[in-house]
Amino acid sequence: MAVITKVPATFEDLLGVKEKAELINGRIVYFMPHGRRPALVAKRILLNLDPYVESLGVGEAHMDNVGYAIRPMMPSGRQSFNPDTSYFVGPLPANDMKFMEGPPTFAVEVRSENDYGRAAEIQMAEKRDDYFLAGTLAVWDVDPVAETIALYSVSDLVNPVIFRRGDIAHAEPAVPGWRVAVDELFR
């Protein structure tokens, strides 16, 4: 993870970044790109989620690299999110070229090669805390190595529901009624 030296960076600066990044404490924080497997899993989640969201007629499903602006800055310093897949219910930006305003309703974080180990677990837990503090209703922590999905929800921030192969996963209460076979995502 690298950080831009210009401080404080703005949302306009973040819009000019070509790589996956988030705005934290006035700094642009870059993220390593996904490898093949995490990218395939994120794509399969989106390809399953999007038609369901379209059928609901409420909100939008988004792919990787859609930015969510959080204003004002959170106590942690976080100013934006950039989940791997997401669902958003809320007002759309007046300018479609800008970030979504506010947090995703449902955020999916698919682990990459560097998202394992004690330090990574701490960073992921802190980011989940920020999601919920900002107003996100459910977060999936997707592990393509273990082939599991940990659902953290606003009703229980500490004890995730773990979905494994053979299970049918959901994202309640964020995406009511949506279900997907775990086997389909990790095929």
**Across the strands, what pairs with 68?**
81, 100
Per-residue pLDDT at 80: 96
Structure tokens that stand for 151 in this block: 């659902």
Tell me, letter by letter, the H, E, C secondary structure of 114-169: CCCCHHHHHHHHHHHHHHHHHCCCEEEEEECCCCEEEEEECCEEEEEEEECCCCEE
pLDDT digits (tens, 9 = 90+) for 100-134: 999 999 999 999 998 999 999 999 999 999 999 99
Q: pLDDT tens across 51-92, in order?
A: 999 999 999 999 988 999 999 999 999 999 999 999 999 999
Q: Which of 26-30, 123-127, 137-141 has the lowest mean pLDDT?
A: 26-30
Q: Name the 3-class secondary structure at 182.
A: helix
| pLDDT > 70? residue 4 | no
pLDDT bin (cut points 50, 70, 90) of residue 18 is: confident
Alpha-carbon gap, residue 185 to 92, rounded angstroms: 29
Long-range CB contact pairs, 156-159, < 8 A, 24+: 157/128, 157/129, 157/132
Which CATH topology does 33-185 take?
A: tt1808, chain A (3.90.1570)
Instruction: Indicate the domain borders of the chain.
Output: 33-185
User: For position 6, what pLDDT does the model report?
Assistant: 61
Distance, in Å, from the CA atom of 100 to the CA atom of 65, rounded to the nearest integer, reads 11
